Chains A and B, each alone.
Chain A
Amino acid sequence: MASNPYFSLAVLFVAALGFGLAPLGLAWVWARVFSPAKPNEVKNAIYECGLESRGDAWMQFRSAYYLYAIMFLIFDVEAVFLLPFAVAFTGLSLAACMAMLVFVLMLVEGLVWAWAKGILTWA
């Protein structure tokens, strides 16, 4: 057996396996002996805000809400870009101002479209 050319390889393989498994086994033994699990209903609760959760998380939301999300995005994106624009306003060239104006108009167009569609009135 020892004369087999693959013998040293097998020895190395077992050693490598032990090197990997020994720490895992030690951790497992440590956990079993020195930190016994004490599960209970309160501890295993899904949420951890101190209050008991009520009802099911798998509920349906009205699909109409996505429109509000899009509307929010218009103002959100606008605010993000308007702030640096306002800061750098005095040093901007005419072309930059025009570009910004076009951008704002595009967003306003979306708002006007939504308004015309009657999305802003709560159904």
Chain B
Amino acid sequence: MAVEEGLKIELGKQGVFVTTIEELYNWGRRSSIWPMQFGLACCAIEMIATTMARYDLARFGGEVFRPSPRQADLMIISGTVTKKMAPQVVRLYNQMAEPRYVIAMGACAISGGPFKQGYNVLKGIDRYIPVDVHIPGCPPRPEALIQAFMTLQKKIDGQHLTGPDRPRHLDAEAQGEFPVPEQGAHDLEPTSNAGVWPVPIVIR
């Protein structure tokens, strides 16, 4: 069982460091998040800037961008998701290995942003895949992406290995498949994944 926080600090002062498997596990996961190397729109330029020397995402252990979903932990939805692109994004998310995380970067990825009324733009990627962190902005500054990254790390740090609130990847019962939408006559079919995004009721 976990060591009491006070005792841990007291022991640390004496030069004795104790930890738990859970802490070690979460520390390992959060310190080497490998994002997937793919950009969708203008936000991708900010994402690229974040990884470069000026902002240096490597300080947080997230500089290893992988071009294959099999090797990536984190999907940064960096930009406008058109309805043409949405099935590919969902398929790539499905192909990532567990545990996997999603950052919705920018107004378009969150809700469709300035193109929300457009016929061809998805009104938020969270209709199909579970998003861990949303960052608003058009585009968000690199600092905002780093903030999202740190928020995700905090989220990972707070996860438990066991218990009813454990994350999906630790639950053998939880399904790892998210249905890939298809192009219909007028819209994507289905228009959203009910398991991830409950359709809001519009009250007029």
CA distance A48 to B171 in the complex (A): 25
Does A34 contact B25, Cβ atoms closer than 8 Å? yes
Nearest chain A CB to B54 CB, angstrom units: 30
CA distance A43 to B98 in the complex (A): 11
Within A39-89, which residues are at the interface with B (CB < 8 Å)? 39-43, 45, 48, 50-52
A-B contact list, 15 entries, CB within 8 Å: A35-B98, A36-B170, A36-B171, A36-B172, A38-B98, A38-B177, A40-B176, A40-B177, A41-B177, A42-B180, A45-B91, A48-B92, A50-B91, A50-B92, A51-B88
Which one, B88, B94, B99, contacts A43 given CB within 8 A? Answer: B94
CA distance A36 to B88 in the complex (A): 25
Query: Closest residue of chain B to A51, judged by CB?
Result: B88
Which one, B69, B91, B169, B180, contacts A35 given CB within 8 A? Answer: B169
Measured CB to CB, the residues of B under 8 A from A are 25, 68-70, 88-89, 91-92, 94-95, 98-99, 161, 169-172, 174-177, 180
What residues of chain A lie closer than 8 Å to B169, measured between beta carbons?
A: 35-36, 38
What residues of chain A lie closer than 8 Å to B177, measured between beta carbons?
A: 38, 40-43
Which one, A35, A45, A50, contacts B88 given CB within 8 A? Answer: A50
- A-B interface pairs (CB < 8 A), number: 46
Given A35-B169, A36-B169, A48-B95; 5 other pairs, CB 8 A cutoff: A36-B172, A40-B177, A43-B94, A45-B91, A48-B92
What residues of chain B lie closer than 8 Å to A34, measured between beta carbons?
A: 25, 161, 170
Nearest chain B CB to A28 CB, angstrom units: 15
Query: Closest residue of chain B to A52, judged by CB?
Result: B91
CA distance A52 to B87 in the complex (A): 10
Which one, B69, B99, B161, contacts A48 given CB within 8 A? Answer: B69
Does A40 contact B68, Cβ atoms closer than 8 Å? no
What residues of chain B lie closer than 8 Å to A42, measured between beta carbons?
A: 91, 94-95, 177, 180
Query: Closest residue of chain A to B71, judged by CB?
Result: A48
CA distance A41 to B91 in the complex (A): 10
CA distance A51 to B170 in the complex (A): 28
CA distance A40 to B98 in the complex (A): 12
What residues of chain A lie closer than 8 Å to B91, measured between beta carbons?
A: 42, 45, 50-52
What residues of chain B lie closer than 8 Å to A51, measured between beta carbons?
A: 88, 91
What residues of chain A lie closer than 8 Å to B170, measured between beta carbons?
A: 34-36
